[in-house]
Structure formats: structure tokens, C-alpha cells
Amino acid sequence: MTPRPLKLAVVGHTNTGKTSLVRTLLRSSEFGRVADRGGTTRQVTSSTLAVGEDVLIELFDSPGLENAPELIDTLEALPGARHDGPERIARLLDDEDLRERFDHESRVLELMLQADVALYVIDAREPVLEKYQDELDILGQCGKPMIAVLNFTASPASRQAQWRDALARVRLHSVLTFDAVVRDPATETRLFEKLAGLLDEFDALITRWLEHRRNEEANRAQAALDTIADMLIDLAAFRSTAPEAGQDIVWEKMQERVRQREQACVDTLLDLYRFGREDREDEELPTSGGRWEDDPFDTETLRHYGIRTGTWTGIGAGTGAAVDVGTGGLTLGTGTLAGALIGTSAGLLRSFGKSLTARIRGKVVLMIDDATLRLLASRQIELLGALIRRGHASQTPMRASGRDLWPERRLPRTLRQARYYPEWSSLNANHRGNEERRRAVKRLCRQLERLREGV
């Protein structure tokens, strides 16, 4: 039998990131409203963390406390046993006039009386003002275990030490730093472990939740790598034949399809990590509005990633690999690249020689060059890293690091292999998603996994 869900209240001063924290725990940007001003959340709102049908944790977001100094005076004036905080709080809640006067505060107190545990969210950039100490005192009177969550700790203005000291003075020793937009499983695990430490009877339930979260994260990362590998295979195997004279037009069309294919991959990654539309402007991500700003076919973009051009690896950076099949034997469409091709990609040439049985004079085969593939792989892996770590990065917008994933010349074997199988690309007319392709995606996935670990 499943025990009843753990009721977890998120409380604190207004505008400290309570709703943001709930969103992080829920992995959903759809929950509540988040804005950089006080009084955004006006009601207690709940949501659940569930494994299948089993609701394990009920999360309650609450309006920010605004008027603690006045409330504490009022509480002190109420009759009741000196050491019975909850009773005093209940008295206040029974009084209609007081409820009206302390509208937001009463909702929070009511929640506190029902909850099993509370997270008190602090904007660590703020000095430890008396009003916050009043809040802690009032919440303490509710008689529930509490964990202080120091938010905004990545900011240079953070006053973590002062806060820890002040919290210790009110006997609150369970403190956690947790940038609210965090998606780092390690910090989240620490939060739940602290909860388990405070709440013996929910130990098994919390362990179950953590295990579920771990699996979910692993599956999500796997699905993301799969998405990237799928795109890369599509692009490595993508090719078009064009009349030499008209190759520019064909190449432009191909470029557009590559951009769209990359965007589809970015969209899937963002969806996997549950970014709503509004979140796509997140300054922590290297993308802007859910898109990469730099065009993959701009040589500057390649340079930013330190991807060398001018050799076969960077063959015609921004021009694609044009293999001229018209001039007896095979040479490159652009003469300057011919030298670079010989030796390094003889295999590719031979393959064209065999596959294009009817060599049509004056035609070229266009493919996406290695440099562009490296760029597309590198930045998707980087985006994935940012999505996983989101919130841990600094407060300043994150720039694409410009790291080439494969600094050695050659692309992974699987991608080189894909060059020979046009039917593997969903962008080609003769596409067939066969078993061989599926295995290639899996193989590439494993290679990407190793790379991601190094990012």
C-alpha cells in the first residue's frame, strides 16, 4: 500500500523564487506565474510528484510573506500558552478580521499547519533584515520541520555566510543552496536527502522518488542523445545531385533543409527538458528564443568553434562538399579543394565512382561537409549539457563555448560510414529507416555519450 503523500510547503518572503523552485522540482515551466516583482503568487497552489498513479509528494506554492513585523506583534498580543505556537496561529486563523488584514500571511500559515515540512526560500542577496527574522519566527511557531533554501547564491551579491549565521541563531540548521532554476540532479538529491533526514516516516517514499528521478534523468539524456545522433546520421547521409551550373541553387536549398533539421533537433531537446515557449528566452541557455543565433553555414561560426577549414575536414566550409562527377573520374567541384581530398577521402571518391553508375556529365554531388557536421554535433551536445546543468551556470548569459567535439581530424566512423548510405537520410527521397541505420544511430549515441561526459 502506498503511504499518504508527503505534503511539502514552499514558503518565504515575496519574490524570492518560490514558484521558480516549484517549477524546477516539477520539471515544468507551466506551473504558476513567475515574475520579477513581489506579489506574483496570490493563492496557495498545489501540484504533485508522482510515479505512475502513485502520488508521492504534494508540493504547495504559496504567496510571499510581506507583513511579518506587524503579524508578529499581533500574534504576541493573542491569548494562549506561550510555548504553543500552533495554537496561537490557529487562533489567528479563526479570527475573520485578522485573516482579512493578513490575507497572504494567513494563507501561508494555514498551509504550514497542514504541511509535513516546509522549504523556506531566501533571496541570499538580501541583507538579513529584521522582517525576515520575524518571518522565520512566525513560521517556526507553526511547529513544522523546515529547511532553509538559499536562492540566488550564484550572484556575487550573495550573503550566504550572514544568512547561515542568522539561521543558526533561530535554530534552523538545515540549510541548502539551491539556485531555483537548477536542474542539477545532485543538488536536488541533496534536498530530498535532507527531507528524508528530517522525516523518518517518509524515508522509503523519498528513496522511491529519488530512484524514479534518477531513472527519468537517465532516460531523458538517452533520448536527447538519440535525437542528436539521428540528426547527424540524417545530415551525414544527405546528398543531392545537381548540374554543375546550377549547383548554387541546389546547395542553398540543401542548406535550408539542414537548418530546419537542426531546428527540429533543438525543438525536441527543449521539449524533452520541458521548456515552455517563454522559457526559451532563458539567458542560461546558449540559444536565443529556442534557436541558435549563428548560421551553421557561416565560416565565422565554424571559426568560433575552432573547427579548421580549408582541408578535407573543412572542405568548402559553408559551401558543402561538392564532388564533381562530370569531368572524367572524380574531382572536386571547386578546384581549390582537390588537393585536400586526395588521400584523406579516397574512400569517399571510390564510393561515388561505384554508386554513380551513370555518370552524367556536368553534374556534381553535394553533401554536407565534415566541418559543418562537427559544428552541428558540437553545439547540440553543448545545448544538452546546458539543459542538464541549467541554473548552475553563472548569472551572465552563457555563450556557446566554441568547443570542437572531435578535435582530431576525422569524424566518428559511424558518421563517415553514413556518407555511403544515402537511404539513411530522411532528407533524401530514397530514405529507408532500416535496421542498419538504427544500429548506426545507437552506435553514434554511445560515442556522443562519451563526449558529453567530457563536456
Ligand X SMILES: Nc1nc2c(ncn2[C@@H]2O[C@H](COP(=O)(O)OP(=O)(O)OP(=O)(O)O)[C@@H](O)[C@H]2O)c(=O)[nH]1
Length of the chain in terms of residues written: 455
Q: Which is nearer to ligand X, 14 or 327 (CB)?
A: 14
Residue 139: what residue type?
Answer: L
Q: Which among 46-54, 179-187, 216-224, 264-272 is the span making contact with ligand X, rule CB under 6 A?
A: 179-187
Contact yes or no for 242/250 (Cβ under 8 A): yes
Determine contact, residues 182/391, Cβ cutoff 8 Å.
yes
Query: Looking only at residues 212 through 231 of this chain, which bind ligand X when binding is defined by CB under 6 A?
Result: none
Smallest separation, CB 389 to ligand X (Å): 13
**Contact residue for Mg ion among 16, 19, 345, 414 (CB under 5 A):** 19
Listed residue (331, 314, 296, 298) closest to 411, CA to CA? 314
Distance CA 119, CA 109 (A): 13
Backbone φ and ψ for 147, nearest 5 degrees, come out as -120, 130
Can residue 176 be called a binding residue for ligand X (CB under 6 A)? no
Cβ neighbour number for residue 190 with a 10 Å cutoff: 14
Is 156 a binding residue for ligand X by CB under 6 A? The answer is no
The CA distance from 262 to 291, in Å, is 9
* Closer residue to Mg ion in complex, CB, 12/296: 12
User: Could you tell me which stretch among 39-47, 78-86, 253-261, 439-447 binds ligand X (CB under 6 A)?
Assistant: 39-47
Question: In angstroms, what is the minimal distance from the CB of 110 to Mg ion?
Answer: 17
- C-alpha distances out from residue 259 to 231, 254, 266, 294, 312, Å: 11, 9, 10, 11, 22
Q: Quick check: 425 binds Mg ion (CB under 5 A)?
A: no
Ranges within 57-86 binding ligand X (CB under 6 A) = 64
338 binds ligand X (CB under 6 A): no
> Is there a contact between 121 and 21 (Cβ–Cβ < 8 Å)?
yes
Stretch that binds ligand X, among 16-24, 67-75, 160-168, 218-226 (CB under 6 A): 16-24
What Å distances lie between residue 241 and 265, 330, 364, CA to CA? 25, 14, 6
- Amino acid at the residue 279: D
Question: Rule CB under 6 A: is residue 19 a binding residue for ligand X?
Answer: yes
> Which partner, Mg ion, ligand X, none, binds residue 75 by CB below 5 to 8 Å per kind?
none
- Whose grid coordinates read 566550409? 317
Minimum CB distance to ligand X, residue 295 (Å): 29
Closest CA to 269 of 221, 214, 216, 212: 221
Residue 318-357 contact track with Mg ion, rule CB under 5 A, x = bound: ----------------------------------------
Question: Whole-angstrom Cα distance, residue 382 to residue 399?
Answer: 10
Contacts of 180 (CB under 8 A, 6+ apart): 17, 20, 21, 24, 121, 151, 152, 391
Distance CA 323, CA 365 (A): 5
Near Mg ion by CB under 5 A, which window of 16-24, 247-255, 397-405, 434-442?
16-24
Question: Is 24 an interacting residue with respect to ligand X (CB under 6 A)?
Answer: no
Q: How far is the CB of 440 from Mg ion (least distance, A)?
A: 47
Distance separating alpha carbons of residues 196 and 204, to the nearest angstrom: 8
| CB closest to Mg ion, residue no | 41
* 39 binds ligand X per the rule CB under 6 A: yes
From the list 20, 4, 451, 5, the residue with the least C-alpha distance to 228 is 451
Considering only the stretches 28-36, 232-240, 244-252, 365-373, report the one whose residues sit in contact with ligand X under the rule CB under 6 A: 28-36
When the beta carbons of 66 and 230 are compared against ligand X, the nearer one is: 66
Taking CB under 6 A as the rule, does residue 16 contact ligand X? yes
Give least dist CB 22 to ligand X, A.
Answer: 8
In whole angstroms, the minimum distance from the beta carbon of 139 to ligand X comes to 15
CB of 50 to ligand X, least distance (A): 22
The interface partner of residue 15, options being Mg ion, ligand X, none and the CB cut-off 5 to 8 Å by kind, is: ligand X
Name the binder of 151 from Mg ion, ligand X, none, CB < 5-8 A by kind: ligand X
Binder to ligand X among 179, 282, 369, 404 (CB under 6 A)?
179
* Site for Mg ion contains 174 (CB under 5 A): no
Report yes or no: 306 and 402 within 8 Å, Cβ to Cβ: yes
**29 or 380: whose CB is closer to ligand X?**
29
Question: Binding string, 25-64, against Mg ion, x = CB under 5 A?
Answer: ---------------xx-----------------------
Which one of ligand X, Mg ion, none interacts with residue 85, CB within 5 to 8 A by kind?
A: none
24 binds, among ligand X, Mg ion, none (CB under 5 to 8 A by kind): none
User: Cell 544538452 identifies what position?
Assistant: 384
DSSP string across 211-266: HHHHHHHHHHHHHHHHHHHHHHHHHHS-EEEEEGGGHHHHHHHHHHHHHHHHHHHH
Block residue for cell numbers 508578529: 72
Residue type, 221: A
C-alpha cell at 180: 531555483
Name the site residues for ligand X (rule: CB under 6 A): 14-20, 34-36, 38-41, 64, 151-152, 179-181, 395
